[in-house]
């Protein structure tokens, strides 16, 4: 088997706003769209991201351990810029920290089972070639 994509759930009320953020602010391209889901890819990557609409009222209490992760030289500032973008669209969001090198953005009304993480590139230097 070959790894193809990861899937996360978005509250259907904020689905289009989050998709717009991934497309306009993070450069994702839409690959496929159905009534319930969307598949996207960021240029230069080879793994796809799927978002599914959900009407779940349950928010995963441990969702900080489930991330869509990005590398950044300025992770906290980049996530804060996304927070401001979301707030301008009436979606509350905030930035938290796992450490002084890795941060997360949560938009509790929209993200059901994940947060968006940004971390310094050195944290992904595993010292192996694939």
Q: Hey, where are the domains in the chain?
A: 5-124
The 10s digit of each residue's pLDDT in 62-98 is: 999 999 999 999 999 999 999 999 999 999 999 999 9
- CATH 3.40.50.970 is right for the domain spanning 5-124: no
The 10s digit of each residue's pLDDT in 113-123 is: 999 999 999 99
CA contacts within 13 A on the Cβ side of 35: 0
Structure tokens at 106: 């949560």
DSSP E strands, 5-123? 5-11, 29-33, 37-41, 48-54, 67-71, 94-97, 102-106, 115-119
Helix/strand/coil for 18: helix
pTM, 2 dp: 0.93
% pLDDT > 70, the chain: 99
């Amino acid at each position: 088997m070959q790894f193809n994509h990861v899937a996360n759930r978005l509250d259907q009320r904020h689905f289009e706003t989050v998709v717009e953020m991934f497309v306009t602010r993070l450069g994702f391209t839409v690959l496929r769209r159905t009534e319930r889901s969307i598949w996207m890819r960021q240029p230069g990557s080879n793994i796809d991201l799927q978002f599914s609409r959900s009407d779940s009222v349950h928010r995963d209490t441990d969702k900080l351990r489930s991330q869509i992760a990005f590398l950044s030289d300025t992770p906290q500032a980049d996530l804060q810029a996304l927070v401001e973008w979301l707030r301008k669209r009436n979606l509350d969001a905030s930035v938290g920290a796992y450490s002084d090198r890795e941060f997360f953005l949560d938009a509790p009304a929209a993200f059901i089972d994940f947060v968006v993480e940004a971390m310094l590139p050195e944290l992904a230097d595993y010292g192996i070639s694939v």
